[in-house]
Every structure is written in structure tokens, then in C-alpha cells.
Structure 1
Amino acid sequence: MRLFLALVPPPELREQLGELADAAHANCGGRRIPDESLHLTLAFLGEVSDVQATELVDWVRRLTVPPGEWRLDGWGHFRRPGILWVGGQSPDPALTALHGHLWDALEGFDLTGRPTCFVPHVSLLRRARRLEAHGLPAPDLVWGYNRVDLVRSITRDWGSRYVSLARSPQN
């Protein structure tokens, strides 16, 4: 099964991100990410065995995540595959440390794929026709976090559906 670790926004923030996604979609076209799929990927694990998935569920349920705040105050994009996202204009040391801590532990599960560069972001559009943020509202959101979800990605013809398999305890 295809898994990743993510921060999942609380309902109020998810609604605000959805409003930004609506504005971006109206301005840039493409495929809007549904509100229920909005998240920050901390570690993409790819395909894992059922045995590894069970071990990861147990690990995440015991995982301690230090509380932090992430300021989302800028737009960005990945030219391929036309992803428009919102994130921070400045690097966030706490998120970078969390990302590194998670990958240190994941390597103990014989998982590979630690990226050489971590760009915290929330994807709002895929296959956008325009990747310019000109004319879009300036984001200014604060995401308080203290939990991580282990999420399964189920791919369908119309897109992906995400199912949380485990959540770390709230601090």
C-alpha cells in the first residue's frame, strides 16, 4: 500500500486553505485539490508491505511530536506537474527538524527515499494552466500542529483518496 506521513490541518484552517484553493483555481485553472485532501507531506514512503504498514501504525500511535507553528505566507509552484501551492516564505526550522527526525526513525524500518531538499507546502492545484501568483490574495495563515498522521493514498482514475491509518497522540 502507498503511504505517507503528514500534518492534517484542523477544520478551520482547512476551510481557509480551501478558500485560497478556490481563488487559485479561478485565476490559474487546473484541478483543484479537494478540501478533505489538503495536507502537508512530511515523508512520502511509497509502496510498503502489509507488515511494514502494521509496524508503522504502531510506531505512529506512540510517536511524540513537539508542538509547533508554521506560518503560511507565500505562494509557490512546481513546474512539473503544474502544482500551485501555499507555504512559508522563509525556511521553518521546527518543520525541518521534524522532517529529519521522522526520516531518521523511518530508516530504522528499512524505508528509503529521504529527499535531499524539503520544501514544506500544501498543494492546492494540480495541472494548473498558469503558475503565477499575481492577482491571488496574499496568504497569512498560522498552522499550530502537534500530531502526525500516517496516511494511505488510494489512487483512482479521478484522483487520489486519502485515509488516515494512525495518528500520533496529541501533545
Structure 2
Amino acid sequence: MSESKRVFFAIEIPTKIQRQIVRWRADNFPDDAGRPVAAANMHITLAFLGEISAEKQAALAAMAGRIRQPGFTLHLDDAGQWLRSRVVWLGTRQPPRGLLQLANLLRAQAARSGCYQSPQPFRPHLTLLRNTAHAVPIPAPGFHWEIPVSEFVLYESNFINGRTRYTPLQRWTLSE
């Protein structure tokens, strides 16, 4: 029997932009707003796969490797809060077509392979804060990060010593 892993496909946020977002978050949200997501864990989930076997992971990785689409630019220029899931997020007002196509392809492949896919529509976002106990004031528009996306990543999610860590397992380059 093979070992299963908790995995997801995502867009990685460059380290420089992670640091800028952490500084912006510190300047714009009170300390009691919620639990800040570690900079190294910042990403945009494309498709959550859940606990899957090594065999299923290999099959999904092979399918991901066949994706041919150009890179795109992602603009993080929106923010909000989902009270039910208790998170504050950064997102994009106008998701690029390439992002939506990539997420839809990966989510469809995952669903065909028997991986659970949320019935919720894809809402590209980066989680800033978790476990928000109350409504948090969201900064006024005017913030903006531009991220050129030329690859996507398969991450493993591990809970170790009371902390969640995301480890890149495999990367795929988008065409030029």
C-alpha cells in the first residue's frame, strides 16, 4: 500500500512580493485581526486534491505536464473577508484568462481522477489571515502587486509541530 499525501496545485508567490505583502498586512490590520499566514505559505490555490495516493499523484502530475498554455500576469489588487470561513484574503478584480483556464483544467483533471473538488466556483485568492473572530476593516483600494506567472506548482501540505508547512513537490513551466 502506498503512502498518501495531502496535495494541491497552486501559483507560487515570489519571495520579494511575500515580504511586501507581510509588511502591508502589518501596517493595515490590527494584531488581533486573526492568525497571519506565514509568508512562505502564501500562494494562490488552483486545485485542491486532498489526500491522494502516490499512484494518483503520479497520474495527475503526468496530466499536468501535458498542459500547454502561455504564462500570464496576475494583479493582486482586491481584498476582502469571508466571514463563514473566517479568512481575510487578497485577490484580483479581473482574473486573467490564463489563470482561469489553468485552474479549470487542473480542477477538471482532478475531478475526473476522483479527487474531491469543491462545488464552489474558483475564486483566486491569497489567504492573509485565518481564524478571524469578527469583521475586519479591509484597506481601501490602492494597493497592487503584479506577479508574472510562468509556472505552477504541486505542493504537499503537512501539519508539523502545530504549524502547517507547504512543500513544493513538482513544477511545470507555462509556455512563452
Amino acid at match of 1:97: Q
Whether the 8 Å CA contact 1:87–1:122 is kept in 2: the answer is yes
Whether the 8 Å CA contact 1:5–1:43 is kept in 2: the answer is yes
Q: Match for residue 36 of structure 1?
A: 40
TM-superposition CA deviations, 1:96-145 (whole Å, max 9, x none): 22211212332343323153311110001011244333456742111210
Amino acid at match of 2:51: E
* Most deviating of 57-66 and 81-90: 57-66
Whether the 8 Å CA contact 2:153–2:171 is kept in 1: the answer is yes
Amino acid at match of 2:108: D
Q: Percent identity?
A: 25
> Of 125, 131, 138, which residue of structure 2 is paired with 1:127?
131
- What are the residue-to-residue correspondences of 1:31-70 with 2, within 5 Å? 31-61=35-65, 63-70=67-74
Confirm or deny that 1:100 pairs with 2:104.
yes
> Of 136, 143, 154, which residue of structure 2 is paired with 1:139?
143
How many residues end up aligned between the 2 structures?
171
Whether the 8 Å CA contact 1:103–1:114 is kept in 2: the answer is no
State the 1:13 CA deviation. Answer: 1.8
Whether the 8 Å CA contact 1:65–1:147 is kept in 2: the answer is no
> Of 137, 150, 158, which residue of structure 1 is paired with 2:162?
158
Whether the 8 Å CA contact 1:69–1:145 is kept in 2: the answer is yes
State the 1:54 CA deviation. Answer: 2.8
TM-superposition CA deviations, 1:86-105 (whole Å, max 9, x none): 11123443322221121233
- Relative distance call for 1:50 and 1:24 in structure 2 (3 A) is farther
> d(CA) in 1 for partners of 2:86 and 2:69?
32
> d(CA) in 2 for partners of 1:26 and 1:110?
41
Whether the 8 Å CA contact 1:25–1:31 is kept in 2: the answer is no
Whether the 8 Å CA contact 1:67–1:144 is kept in 2: the answer is yes
Ranked by relative contact order (alpha carbons within 8 Å, sequence separation 6 or more), the top structure is 1
- What are the residue-to-residue correspondences of 1:60-99 with 2, within 5 Å? 60-61=64-65, 63-99=67-103
**Structure 2: stretches of 5+ with no match in the other structure:** none
- Relative distance call for 1:153 and 1:119 in structure 2 (3 A) is same
> d(CA) in 1 for partners of 2:35 and 2:108?
34
> d(CA) in 1 for partners of 2:138 and 2:113?
43
Give TM-score scaled by structure 1 length: 0.85
TM-superposition CA deviations, 1:143-163 (whole Å, max 9, x none): 210211000000235231101
> d(CA) in 2 for partners of 1:111 and 1:36?
26
